[in-house]
Amino acid sequence: MEKKTVVLCDDHNIVRAGLRQIVESFGDFEVLADVESGEALFPLFKKQTPDLLLLDISLPGRSGLEVLKQIQAMYPSIAVLALSMYPEDQFAIRMIKAGARGYLHKDSAPQVLEDAMRTIAEGKQFISAELTRLMIEEMAKDDNDLPHKSLSDREYEVLLYIGEGKTMTEIANQLSLSIKTVSTYRSRILEKMRLKSNSDLVKYILLHDLAPGGADPTHTAG
């Protein structure tokens, strides 16, 4: 049986190396390339379109969500599996709505990754029990019932980094943006959510359990 081709996109060298080793150990997949940014994907796709893409959400420059939307517009045949450090209740539904075939936390066991890859390679969606529950809840309520639902994908990503206690400088470095641009995103977030300060944002994040597991958002972004 012909192997399915895969491209890996993650900004951490060790993660990419580990993923490549794990994916190739499954036997039915061939890793064509691994890249550290979304921008690096498109020159590759012009030469050869892979069957699958393992896409990290938190990338320097354009976020995984933005990259996914462009891939869906230009290369809809690629089955995308989103990988993230964030729990499913924070990004999974946004990624699925944007066109991902599945969503997997980076702490998942290799067997779960293999199951997810085989599922989306067959043209199906990989939907966990937790994501199924979240999607049912999403359908049962107004999309804009909470202020953070009105944020753009990038604004939401900045909000979560604020929830992790990152400073504006740290967020700018992580996203490969200027501090001025990040500050603009923060201002938009405050305006859309009708809040007045970083302290209000952190309180909101804690109230709605938006901070990633293990994060301590007691250090407000400066």
Q: How does pLDDT run across 87-107, given as a tens digit for each residue?
A: 666 677 788 888 999 998 888
Place of tokens 């504006």: 168
Q: pLDDT tens for residues 37-91?
A: 999 999 999 999 999 999 998 887 788 888 999 999 999 999 999 998 876 666 7
Residue 45 falls inside a structural domain: yes
Which residue among 117, 139, 161 closes a domain? 139
Q: pLDDT tens for residues 147-180?
A: 887 888 888 889 888 888 889 999 988 888 899 9
Same domain, 77 and 174: no
Contact 151, 210 (CB under 8 A): no
Which residue among 116, 139, 162 closes a domain? 139
Same domain, 21 and 118: yes
In terms of Cα–Cα distance, which of 157, 187, 188 is closest to 171? 157
Same domain, 135 and 55: yes
Same domain, 133 and 191: no
Amino acid identity for residue 179 in this structure? I
Contact 204, 144 (CB under 8 A): no
